[in-house]
Amino acid sequence: MNPVITILGPTATGKTRIAALLAKHLGAEIVSADSRQIYKRMDIGTGKDLKDYTIEGVSIPYHLIDIEEPGKVNTVFNYQKLAQQAILDIQQRNKPVILCGGSGMYIEALLQGYQSTPIPSIIFGIKGDRDEVRRRITARLKERLENGMVDEVQKLMNEGVATEQLYKYGLEYRYVMLYLTQQLDYNMMFQKLNTAIHQFSKRQMTWFRKMERAGFVIHWLDLAWNEEEKMDYILCAVSDVKFTGGV
Protein backbone atom coordinates (compact mmCIF):
# COMPACT_ATOMS: atom_id res chain seq x y z
CA MET A 1 0.00 0.00 0.00
CA ASN A 2 1.00 3.60 -0.45
CA PRO A 3 1.84 5.38 2.83
CA VAL A 4 -0.89 6.89 4.96
CA ILE A 5 -0.58 9.87 7.26
CA THR A 6 -1.20 8.97 10.90
CA ILE A 7 -2.12 11.56 13.51
CA LEU A 8 -2.09 10.24 17.07
CA GLY A 9 -1.85 11.58 20.57
CA PRO A 10 -3.44 11.41 24.01
CA THR A 11 -7.02 12.44 24.62
CA ALA A 12 -8.02 16.13 24.43
CA THR A 13 -5.13 17.25 22.22
CA GLY A 14 -7.15 18.24 19.15
CA LYS A 15 -6.21 15.39 16.81
CA THR A 16 -9.48 15.35 14.89
CA ARG A 17 -9.37 19.05 14.12
CA ILE A 18 -5.84 18.86 12.70
CA ALA A 19 -6.69 15.72 10.74
CA ALA A 20 -9.72 17.42 9.22
CA LEU A 21 -7.77 20.56 8.30
CA LEU A 22 -5.11 18.40 6.69
CA ALA A 23 -7.72 16.32 4.86
CA LYS A 24 -9.30 19.43 3.38
CA HIS A 25 -5.90 20.68 2.20
CA LEU A 26 -4.91 17.34 0.63
CA GLY A 27 -8.32 16.16 -0.53
CA ALA A 28 -7.93 13.21 1.82
CA GLU A 29 -10.36 10.99 3.73
CA ILE A 30 -10.05 10.12 7.42
CA VAL A 31 -10.05 6.64 8.94
CA SER A 32 -10.80 6.68 12.65
CA ALA A 33 -8.41 4.83 14.95
CA ASP A 34 -10.68 4.80 17.97
CA SER A 35 -11.90 1.66 19.68
CA ARG A 36 -15.36 3.03 20.52
CA GLN A 37 -16.35 5.51 17.82
CA ILE A 38 -17.55 2.66 15.62
CA TYR A 39 -20.71 2.50 17.75
CA LYS A 40 -23.86 4.38 16.79
CA ARG A 41 -25.51 6.72 19.32
CA MET A 42 -22.37 6.74 21.46
CA ASP A 43 -21.35 10.24 20.46
CA ILE A 44 -20.59 12.39 23.48
CA GLY A 45 -18.86 9.77 25.61
CA THR A 46 -16.59 8.66 22.76
CA GLY A 47 -15.73 12.22 21.74
CA LYS A 48 -16.69 11.89 18.09
CA ASP A 49 -16.69 15.67 17.69
CA LEU A 50 -18.43 15.27 14.32
CA LYS A 51 -18.58 19.05 13.88
CA ASP A 52 -14.80 18.99 13.45
CA TYR A 53 -15.25 17.11 10.19
CA THR A 54 -16.73 20.21 8.55
CA ILE A 55 -14.11 22.77 7.52
CA GLU A 56 -15.29 26.05 5.98
CA GLY A 57 -18.52 24.39 4.91
CA VAL A 58 -16.75 21.38 3.41
CA SER A 59 -17.66 17.97 4.87
CA ILE A 60 -14.60 15.75 5.24
CA PRO A 61 -15.33 12.06 4.50
CA TYR A 62 -14.66 9.78 7.46
CA HIS A 63 -14.68 6.02 7.98
CA LEU A 64 -15.19 3.55 10.87
CA ILE A 65 -17.49 5.88 12.77
CA ASP A 66 -21.14 4.97 13.46
CA ILE A 67 -21.01 1.56 11.77
CA GLU A 68 -22.01 -0.84 14.56
CA GLU A 69 -24.86 -1.08 17.06
CA PRO A 70 -24.03 -0.70 20.76
CA GLY A 71 -23.70 -4.06 22.43
CA LYS A 72 -21.60 -5.68 19.73
CA VAL A 73 -18.09 -6.64 20.79
CA ASN A 74 -15.28 -5.09 18.77
CA THR A 75 -11.77 -6.55 18.64
CA VAL A 76 -8.38 -5.38 17.43
CA PHE A 77 -8.50 -7.98 14.66
CA ASN A 78 -11.96 -6.83 13.53
CA TYR A 79 -10.84 -3.21 13.56
CA GLN A 80 -7.74 -4.07 11.55
CA LYS A 81 -9.83 -5.82 8.90
CA LEU A 82 -12.29 -2.93 8.61
CA ALA A 83 -9.51 -0.32 8.54
CA GLN A 84 -7.59 -2.16 5.82
CA GLN A 85 -10.75 -2.35 3.72
CA ALA A 86 -11.39 1.37 4.19
CA ILE A 87 -7.81 2.31 3.31
CA LEU A 88 -7.86 0.13 0.22
CA ASP A 89 -11.14 1.67 -0.92
CA ILE A 90 -9.87 5.22 -0.44
CA GLN A 91 -6.58 4.60 -2.20
CA GLN A 92 -8.27 2.87 -5.11
CA ARG A 93 -10.16 6.13 -5.59
CA ASN A 94 -6.81 7.96 -5.70
CA LYS A 95 -7.37 9.78 -2.42
CA PRO A 96 -4.83 10.26 0.38
CA VAL A 97 -5.60 8.52 3.67
CA ILE A 98 -5.32 10.06 7.12
CA LEU A 99 -5.48 7.66 10.08
CA CYS A 100 -6.48 9.56 13.22
CA GLY A 101 -7.03 8.49 16.80
CA GLY A 102 -5.68 7.77 20.23
CA SER A 103 -6.02 3.99 20.46
CA GLY A 104 -2.35 3.05 20.36
CA MET A 105 -3.07 -0.69 20.31
CA TYR A 106 -5.30 -0.33 17.25
CA ILE A 107 -2.86 1.96 15.44
CA GLU A 108 0.13 -0.25 16.12
CA ALA A 109 -1.68 -3.45 15.11
CA LEU A 110 -2.84 -1.87 11.85
CA LEU A 111 0.48 -0.30 10.87
CA GLN A 112 2.71 -3.22 11.81
CA GLY A 113 0.36 -5.68 10.11
CA TYR A 114 -0.71 -7.90 12.99
CA GLN A 115 -1.65 -11.16 11.20
CA SER A 116 -1.62 -9.18 7.95
CA THR A 117 0.41 -6.88 5.69
CA PRO A 118 2.08 -3.86 7.31
CA ILE A 119 0.89 -0.43 6.22
CA PRO A 120 3.55 2.22 5.57
CA SER A 121 2.85 5.48 7.33
CA ILE A 122 4.31 8.82 8.24
CA ILE A 123 3.28 9.31 11.87
CA PHE A 124 2.64 12.61 13.60
CA GLY A 125 1.78 12.96 17.26
CA ILE A 126 0.44 15.81 19.34
CA LYS A 127 1.64 16.21 22.90
CA GLY A 128 1.99 19.07 25.32
CA ASP A 129 2.65 20.31 28.81
CA ARG A 130 1.03 17.95 31.31
CA ASP A 131 -0.72 20.77 33.19
CA GLU A 132 -2.27 22.04 29.96
CA VAL A 133 -3.40 18.55 28.96
CA ARG A 134 -4.93 18.10 32.40
CA ARG A 135 -6.73 21.44 32.10
CA ARG A 136 -8.12 20.49 28.69
CA ILE A 137 -9.27 17.06 29.92
CA THR A 138 -11.17 18.52 32.86
CA ALA A 139 -12.73 21.30 30.80
CA ARG A 140 -13.83 18.85 28.12
CA LEU A 141 -15.35 16.48 30.68
CA LYS A 142 -17.39 19.33 32.19
CA GLU A 143 -18.55 20.32 28.70
CA ARG A 144 -19.59 16.77 27.83
CA LEU A 145 -21.56 16.37 31.02
CA GLU A 146 -23.28 19.71 30.42
CA ASN A 147 -24.09 18.70 26.84
CA GLY A 148 -25.92 15.49 27.67
CA MET A 149 -23.49 12.66 28.32
CA VAL A 150 -25.59 11.37 31.23
CA ASP A 151 -28.69 11.32 29.03
CA GLU A 152 -26.73 9.48 26.33
CA VAL A 153 -25.81 6.69 28.73
CA GLN A 154 -29.35 6.55 30.10
CA LYS A 155 -30.74 6.10 26.58
CA LEU A 156 -28.32 3.23 25.95
CA MET A 157 -29.47 1.57 29.15
CA ASN A 158 -33.11 2.12 28.14
CA GLU A 159 -32.34 0.41 24.81
CA GLY A 160 -31.20 -2.65 26.70
CA VAL A 161 -27.43 -2.26 26.55
CA ALA A 162 -26.26 -4.23 29.58
CA THR A 163 -24.49 -2.44 32.41
CA GLU A 164 -21.70 -4.99 32.11
CA GLN A 165 -21.19 -3.94 28.50
CA LEU A 166 -21.27 -0.24 29.35
CA TYR A 167 -18.60 -0.94 31.96
CA LYS A 168 -16.38 -2.30 29.17
CA TYR A 169 -17.06 0.60 26.82
CA GLY A 170 -14.60 2.89 28.51
CA LEU A 171 -14.32 5.30 31.37
CA GLU A 172 -17.14 7.71 30.51
CA TYR A 173 -19.75 4.98 30.12
CA ARG A 174 -18.46 3.08 33.14
CA TYR A 175 -18.62 5.92 35.63
CA VAL A 176 -21.83 7.49 34.34
CA MET A 177 -23.45 4.04 34.51
CA LEU A 178 -22.30 3.73 38.12
CA TYR A 179 -23.92 7.11 38.82
CA LEU A 180 -27.17 6.15 37.09
CA THR A 181 -27.34 2.90 39.03
CA GLN A 182 -26.83 4.89 42.26
CA GLN A 183 -23.47 3.35 43.03
CA LEU A 184 -21.86 6.82 42.97
CA ASP A 185 -23.26 10.28 43.61
CA TYR A 186 -22.72 12.95 40.95
CA ASN A 187 -19.73 14.67 42.55
CA MET A 188 -17.96 11.39 43.25
CA MET A 189 -18.67 10.25 39.70
CA PHE A 190 -17.12 13.42 38.30
CA GLN A 191 -14.05 13.25 40.53
CA LYS A 192 -13.37 9.58 39.85
CA LEU A 193 -14.00 9.92 36.12
CA ASN A 194 -11.82 13.02 35.83
CA THR A 195 -8.96 11.27 37.65
CA ALA A 196 -9.36 8.13 35.55
CA ILE A 197 -9.18 10.09 32.27
CA HIS A 198 -5.98 11.81 33.42
CA GLN A 199 -4.48 8.41 34.17
CA PHE A 200 -5.67 7.08 30.81
CA SER A 201 -3.93 9.98 29.06
CA LYS A 202 -0.67 8.99 30.73
CA ARG A 203 -1.13 5.38 29.61
CA GLN A 204 -1.69 6.57 26.04
CA MET A 205 1.65 8.38 26.07
CA THR A 206 3.31 5.30 27.56
CA TRP A 207 1.99 3.24 24.64
CA PHE A 208 3.23 5.77 22.08
CA ARG A 209 6.68 5.76 23.67
CA LYS A 210 6.62 1.96 23.49
CA MET A 211 5.86 2.25 19.78
CA GLU A 212 8.91 4.48 19.37
CA ARG A 213 11.10 1.96 21.17
CA ALA A 214 9.74 -0.70 18.80
CA GLY A 215 10.96 1.31 15.82
CA PHE A 216 8.05 3.57 14.92
CA VAL A 217 9.18 7.12 14.11
CA ILE A 218 6.73 9.68 15.50
CA HIS A 219 7.13 13.32 14.50
CA TRP A 220 5.83 15.25 17.49
CA LEU A 221 3.85 18.47 17.27
CA ASP A 222 3.63 20.75 20.29
CA LEU A 223 0.10 21.20 21.59
CA ALA A 224 0.96 24.87 22.18
CA TRP A 225 1.51 25.50 18.46
CA ASN A 226 -1.37 27.15 16.66
CA GLU A 227 -3.17 25.37 13.83
CA GLU A 228 -1.12 27.07 11.14
CA GLU A 229 2.14 26.01 12.77
CA LYS A 230 0.96 22.41 13.09
CA MET A 231 -0.21 22.35 9.48
CA ASP A 232 3.04 23.87 8.19
CA TYR A 233 5.08 21.28 10.06
CA ILE A 234 3.09 18.37 8.66
CA LEU A 235 2.92 19.68 5.10
CA CYS A 236 6.67 20.32 5.05
CA ALA A 237 7.34 16.77 6.26
CA VAL A 238 5.10 15.15 3.64
CA SER A 239 5.85 17.47 0.72
CA ASP A 240 7.91 14.88 -1.17
CA VAL A 241 5.71 11.85 -0.41
CA LYS A 242 3.17 10.35 -2.80
CA PHE A 243 -0.04 9.45 -1.01
CA THR A 244 -2.34 8.69 -3.93
CA GLY A 245 -2.42 6.38 -6.90
CA GLY A 246 -3.89 3.16 -5.49
CA VAL A 247 -1.95 0.13 -4.31
Domain ranges of the chain: 4-129+202-237, 133-197
Q: Do domains 4-129+202-237 and 133-197 have the same CATH topology?
A: no
Instruction: Give, for all 247 residues of the chain, the pLDDT tens digit.
Output: 678 999 999 999 999 999 999 999 999 999 999 989 999 999 999 988 899 999 999 999 999 999 999 988 889 999 999 999 999 999 999 999 999 999 999 999 999 998 788 999 999 999 999 999 999 999 999 999 999 999 999 999 999 999 999 999 999 999 999 999 999 999 999 999 999 999 999 999 999 999 999 999 999 999 999 999 999 999 999 987 766 543 3
Are 211 and 104 within 8 A, CB to CB?
Answer: yes
The structure's pTM equals: 0.93
CATH fold of the domain at 4-129+202-237? Rossmann fold (3.40.50)
* Residue 247, burial from CB neighbour count under 10 angstroms (0-12, 13-18, 19+): exposed
Alpha helix (H) residue ranges in 181-221: 186-213
Spelled out in words, what is the top-level CATH class assigned to the domain 133-197? mainly alpha
Are 16 and 210 within 8 A, CB to CB?
Answer: no
